[in-house]
Amino acid sequence: MLSQTQWDERKALYYVCLNCENILILGDFNHELKLGSPLESFMLQSFDTRLFSPRESTTNARTTVDGVFGRLEDYNVEVFIYESYASHYKPLVIRVHEL
């Protein structure tokens, strides 16, 4: 069962995703983002967003849990994995520019 805070966050996400033309959603999703992942299908079907981040490991444990989803009509989005020596996670670098 979701807490009130989790429910409020989920409602806010739905509102923003359904009412904004251009959107980026990024974070540690705690779901493997390998090819054909259920999370990727959910994000596409629910919010019409696609995965921009690479399907490479984003942690030292070789998991791919960090991702960038989005829907940007007139922009090119590039996401790179930055090698960090100070963290278990590898930061994602995002570059967005107009077409």
pLDDT value of residue 1 = 63
Structure-token pair, residue 84: 């960090």
Closest CA to 25 of 8, 46, 6: 46
Instruction: Sheet with 66-71: list strands edge to edge.
Output: 23-28, 66-71, 50-51
Residue 17 lies in a domain: no
Domain span including residue 27 = 22-98
Joined together, the tokens standing for residue 73 give 């009509």
Reduce the DSSP state of residue 8 to 3 states and report it: helix
Which token pair is 62?
A: 């070789």
Lookup: tokens for 94: 């995002």
7, pLDDT greater than 80? no
Q: Is residue 3 part of a domain?
A: no
pLDDT of 70 over the 70 cut: yes
Contacts of 61 (CB under 8 A, 6+ apart): 88
The total domain count for the chain is: 1
Q: Where is pLDDT greater, at 4 or 83?
A: 83
Q: Classify residue 78: in a domain, yes or no.
A: yes
pLDDT in tens, 32-66: 888 888 989 988 988 899 999 998 888 888 888 88
pTM of the model: 0.81
Calculate what percentage of the chain has a pLDDT beyond 90. Answer: 27
